[in-house]
Structure 1
Amino acid sequence: MNTNQTPKKKPGRPKITTENNITREQILKTAAHLFMAYGYEKVSMEQVAEASDVTKASVYYYFKNKATLFTVSVSSMFQRITKQTEKLLQNSKGLKHRLYEVTLDHLKRPHIDFETLLQEATSSLTEGHIHEIREAEKAIHEALENVFKQAANSGEIVVASPRLLAHTFSTVTMIRNKKELITELGGPEKTAQALVDLFWVGISPN
């Protein structure tokens, strides 16, 4: 017996590479799109793999089950939306115009109602999953809350609860799920302007 023989290493996860990160992000973006378009139950790991142009084994390599994939993909989606919202809110234009750009951006990404989607998925999720999703969603409201707080301090809008304004504005933009109404109103641009005009009546100074 050769006692000098080097013991074989146990197989493990490969080192993280740029290619691995790109694959993971592609899976996340694809999964989020599918979940938001078709709901939780109608989307399978196989469908995500096919749409991502990877093997099913690759999807399971990064995400152990559909509940985990759903949680991470939706949370990542909210993180991307938060970054885009913050970018649109940080320009030098007036608040009303910035709200218009945020609303238009939301209207151009129509999908099913998120609360309905989450309710459908809840039986498959843990409390930890739901907490992670809600925390990611909360960041969007915080971005809006901060800009409303700044506008109130500068006198650009009447003094009100910035948090209430953030949640109210988010509710207003949920009309993006009503495709027929958006078409009836003349498309995303005109609908966004009408929504912001309606919202602005209640917060602009006299």
Structure 2
Amino acid sequence: MTKRTPGRPKVKAEMNITRERISTTAAHLFLTYGYESVSMQQVAEASNVTKASVYYYFKDKATLFTKAVSSMFQRITTRVEELLQSSKGLKERLYEVVLEHLKRPHVDFETLLQEASSSLSEDHISEIRKSEQYIHQALEGIFKQAVENGEIVTTSPLLLAHAFSNVTMIRNKTELITELGGYEKTAQALVELFWIGIGPK
């Protein structure tokens, strides 16, 4: 019977924590400054590790970007699910999702992905898109439930999920947010527009 090396699980846990810290830090830097402007050295310094450590966990910048962005989408999905699973009405839950989203302004993701695309493989892009879909799937499930409960009417919960995601993309329009009176009023206006639409009543 082979003896297990003492302390091995602890070492593995510490490695996972370090890897996650690098990934989270990298996602923040990429979303703040763009793909080209962020170097592996910057990620290392911001993560309080050596550049060699970054390369130990992520073989190159494209891999780091892919893993960092994919993990970010997973965290967002988890948070969105937490907000949407409360006992409040759907409209209020949507407001809370939009408000939290608006308070985290960063570069437009599609612009960021386009900037990075020349450095990414098809597998990298596929992994990112798959992680992005989790958010839409979470929203779709909530909208399906709301239809069943008679709270909303829609022919396509998935289309509604994508439409709602697009509504929140206004977060980078800081001048408009200021003109509307801040995050809370902007979030309220967006949800009202999404909820009521523009047709005459």
Q: 1:92 aligns with which of 82, 87, 96?
A: 87
How much has 1:160 moved relative to structure 2? 2.3
Q: 1:168 aligns with which of 159, 163, 166?
A: 163
Q: 1:104 aligns with which of 96, 99, 102?
A: 99
How much has 1:153 moved relative to structure 2? 1.4
Per-residue displacement from partner, 1:33-85 (whole Å, max 9, x unpaired)? 00000110000000000111110000000000000000000000000000000
Question: Paired residue for 1:69?
Answer: 64
User: Contact (CA 8 Å) 1:30, 1:48: kept in 2 or not?
Assistant: yes
C-alpha distance in 1 between matches for 2:147 and 2:127? 31
Q: Does 1:78 align with 2:59?
A: no
Q: 2:183 aligns with which of 184, 188, 192?
A: 188
Q: 2:145 aligns with which of 144, 150, 157?
A: 150
Q: Give secondary structure in 1 for the equivalent of 2:54.
A: helix
Q: 2:118 aligns with which of 119, 123, 129?
A: 123
Runs of 4+ in 1 over 6 A off after TM superposition: none
Q: Does 1:201 align with 2:191?
A: no
Question: Paired residue for 1:52?
Answer: 47
User: Contact (CA 8 Å) 1:152, 1:160: kept in 2 or not?
Assistant: no
User: Contact (CA 8 Å) 1:45, 1:59: kept in 2 or not?
Assistant: yes
Deviates more, 1:124-133 or 1:180-189: 180-189
Count of residues in Structure 1 that have an aligned counterpart in Structure 2 = 191
Between structures 1 and 2, the one with greater helix share: 2
Larger radius of gyration: 1
C-alpha distance in 1 between matches for 2:175 and 2:44? 32
C-alpha distance in 2 between matches for 1:184 and 1:26? 36
Question: Paired residue for 1:8?
Answer: none
C-alpha distance in 2 between matches for 1:178 and 1:80? 24
Question: Paired residue for 1:19?
Answer: 14
Per-residue displacement from partner, 1:146-176 (whole Å, max 9, x unpaired)? 1111111111011321011000000000001
Q: 2:31 aligns with which of 33, 36, 39?
A: 36
| Aligned AA (2:25) | T
**Unpaired segments ≥5 residues, structure 2:** 1-7
| Aligned AA (1:48) | V
Per-residue displacement from partner, 1:106-160 (whole Å, max 9, x unpaired)? 1011111100000010110011000000000000000001111111111101132
Question: Paired residue for 1:4?
Answer: none
The CA RMSD over aligned residues, in Å, is: 1.5
How much has 1:20 moved relative to structure 2? 1.2
Deviates more, 1:43-52 or 1:183-192: 183-192
C-alpha distance in 2 between matches for 1:169 and 1:159? 13
Structure-2-length-normalised TM-score? 0.92
| Aligned AA (1:176) | R
